Structure 1
């Protein structure tokens, strides 16, 4: 890529180009795949209210949240994703979608009761800035469910080329790194839960310490609370 590499523009371009592919598989992921445990986890820790879905993609996760009684606003960097998400709007569910950057959100301070950010923080140039922005738009005491791809989510093709010195648009993080980042930026960690690949039986991991559990995950889910 050229010396004038712009993370924001490149991320928008790449996710626009992936919108058809993502839209074709998102329902399966949310209903029976790697994201199927997320909405139950959110329900366990967050009351229904004004909720923002950070990095909403085609809006299927936002739609499922709205069915649980949440008044959902989805935001995504990709215009193509937002266009697809807007097709989910009907008079039966409280949904709206807007285009926006996770590190510069188009919302007021303390606007939302809670939030969800699944595999979106990794796609920011400065993840600490994304956490700060999400904290800004949540009310004090508001909770955020954030999902981060774990060590077994391979291949990490989106970040691999950085090893050659190339510019990439994915900040691969480990769950323990995100946890430390969150605590340092004024969040309290309320709970965590792993999503594992097929074949990993619960009895094989139940006795492990949390750091070992995290090291085996396809995705780790956090519940964070704004202090």
Structure 2
């Protein structure tokens, strides 16, 4: 699957902005505010892609590790942002992270968990590399609770998104996969239960854009 993301890396951010009608920027702002990065913190931004989310976090002065399983995404991120001293790009598998136990104050993952073969294992790995009392922020596509709005959203994803993707993306098939992965992904309550099952506490979520996206938050228990 990483090869698919390698192919779309150069135009990835622009395509996401077009397909989300600009909402991706609002979701990034909401995620950054939920993370609440501060100078002196060490933050893992997993599934960072080309690093747009990592740069937003690093503006606080926090040290940010931008990790992704796609070498093409990492290369594009380094090309764009390699000169920023408090951002480090690392290729990493979410289910086998190359970091020590308790290494990060906060871990965050945006629009990547549903691309992992074993999401619960990835949530467990995120727990492992987070310090006691540290925080988790997951921003992911979800399911609008309104049946009417959900119907409109499904129509857009099934009928409109593929046409637009063929126009603006270098690999429209990748966005067919995107649509399928969103449709098959569990709802907000189910993902919250997965987060609890893997050992996180204080689990909560709030909907963004009428539930197209949900922002999940949790904390690693203190000893």
TM-score (norm 2): 0.75
Matches within 5 A, 1:73-222: 73-87=65-79, 88-91=81-84, 93-152=85-144, 154=154, 155=157, 157-158=176-177, 172-196=185-209, 216-222=210-216
Structure 1 CA distance for aligned equivalents of residues 2 and 94 of structure 2:
12
What do the CA deviations read for 1:56-96 (whole angstroms, capped 9, x no partner)?
A: 000011011000121000110100100111120225x4010
Q: Which has the higher contact order (CA 8 A, sep 6+)?
A: 2
Find the counterpart in structure 1 of residue 8 from structure 2.
18
Name the structure where helix makes up a greater proportion of residues.
Answer: 2
Deviation at 1:189, TM superposition (A): 3.0
Find the counterpart in structure 2 of residue 223 from structure 1.
217
Find the counterpart in structure 2 of residue 39 from structure 1.
32
Deviation at 1:226, TM superposition (A): 0.9
Deviation at 1:158, TM superposition (A): 2.3
Deviation at 1:122, TM superposition (A): 0.5
The answer for unaligned runs of 5 or more in structure 2 is: 145-152, 159-175
- Provide the alpha-carbon RMSD of the alignment: 2.6
- How many pairs align? 189
Contact 1:52–1:115 (8 Å) recurs in 2: yes
The answer for unaligned runs of 5 or more in structure 1 is: 1-10, 162-167, 197-215
Structure 2 CA distance for aligned equivalents of residues 50 and 171 of structure 1:
33
Matches within 5 A, 1:37-76: 37-43=30-36, 47-48=38-39, 49-76=41-68
Contact 1:122–1:173 (8 Å) recurs in 2: no
Structure 1 CA distance for aligned equivalents of residues 142 and 190 of structure 2:
11
Runs of 4 or more, structure 1, over 3 Å off, are 25-34, 168-171
TM-score (norm 1): 0.74
Contact 1:179–1:189 (8 Å) recurs in 2: no
Deviation at 1:26, TM superposition (A): 5.8
